[in-house]
């Protein structure tokens, strides 16, 4: 065994880490399953904890593969993501995100891009578009209501960024999926004599 080094990057250490994380996740999921009927809040807490552990492990593995080298720590990325998701309806400034990550604005912007692969602004726009898609699929709110609820200044702002991202208007995207929203109601109302 002379010359054999077992460090944090060795396959044995990685294997042990994987088993530790997998066992923790399994226990949390078992607790959630067991508590679901009795105490939904306890079950929810177990699921949230399992989700955070899994996300941190994914980010750790990504960092081990070099994709986030020099970026933010996993806890910082997780806090920023949670902050963005909870505040999509508001204007999100870089100063707010850097404060959440406890970094200066300039340092945060560089490190966030290294960790996530896109600028903080691009990430926020992407999350707003994802949330807008979700809302277009799950309710019949008008596009202007959806635009405002996810933090776009108006419907035109949503439409311009949506077209850039998806190559078509949100109304067409919604119609193609058979989702009845403002556009569908308007065209249906026009056919009424």
In the numeric block, which tokens belong to residue 27? Answer: 């226990």
pLDDT band at residue 124 using 50, 70 and 90 as cut-offs: very high
pLDDT at 167 over 70: yes
Give a three-class secondary structure readout of the chain. CCCCCCCCCCHHHHHHHHHHHHHHHHHHHHHHHHHCCCCHHHHHHHHHHHHHHHHHHHHHHHHHCCCCCCCCCHHHHHHHHHHHHHCCCCCCCHHHHHHHHCCCHHHHHHHHHHHHCCCHHHHHHHHHHHHHHHHHHHCCCCHHHHHHHCCCCCHHHHHHHHHHHHCCCHHHHHHHCCCCCHHHHHHHHHCCC
pLDDT at 91: 93
More confident residue, 38 or 66: 38
pLDDT (tens digit per residue) in 127-163: 999 999 888 888 888 999 999 999 999 999 999 999 9
Which residue is associated with the tokens 């806090």?
A: 79
Rounded Cα gap, residues 80 and 63, in angstroms: 17
pLDDT at 126 over 60: yes
pTM reported for the whole predicted model: 0.59
pLDDT at 67 over 60: no
pLDDT at 78 over 80: yes
pLDDT (tens digit per residue) in 22-46: 777 777 788 888 877 888 777 777 7
pLDDT band at residue 3 using 50, 70 and 90 as cut-offs: very low
pLDDT at 68: 44
């Amino acid at each position: 065994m002379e010359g054999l080094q077992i460090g944090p990057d060795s396959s044995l250490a990685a294997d042990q880490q994987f088993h530790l994380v997998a066992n923790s996740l399994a226990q949390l999921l078992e607790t959630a399953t067991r508590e679901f009927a009795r105490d939904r809040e306890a079950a929810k807490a177990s699921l949230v904890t399992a989700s955070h552990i899994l996300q941190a492990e994914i980010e750790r593995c990504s960092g081990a593969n070099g994709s986030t080298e020099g970026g933010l720590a996993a806890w910082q990325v997780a806090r920023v993501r949670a902050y963005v998701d909870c505040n999509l309806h508001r204007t999100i400034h870089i100063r707010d995100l850097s404060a959440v990550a406890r970094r200066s604005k300039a340092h945060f912007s560089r490190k966030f891009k290294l960790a996530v692969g896109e600028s903080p602004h691009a990430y926020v726009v992407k999350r707003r578009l994802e949330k807008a898609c979700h809302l277009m699929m799950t309710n019949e709110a008008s596009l202007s209501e959806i635009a405002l609820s996810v933090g776009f200044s108006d419907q035109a702002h949503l439409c311009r960024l949506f077209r850039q991202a998806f190559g078509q208007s949100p109304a067409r995207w919604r119609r193609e999926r058979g989702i009845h929203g403002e556009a569908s109601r308007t065209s249906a109302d026009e056919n009424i004599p």
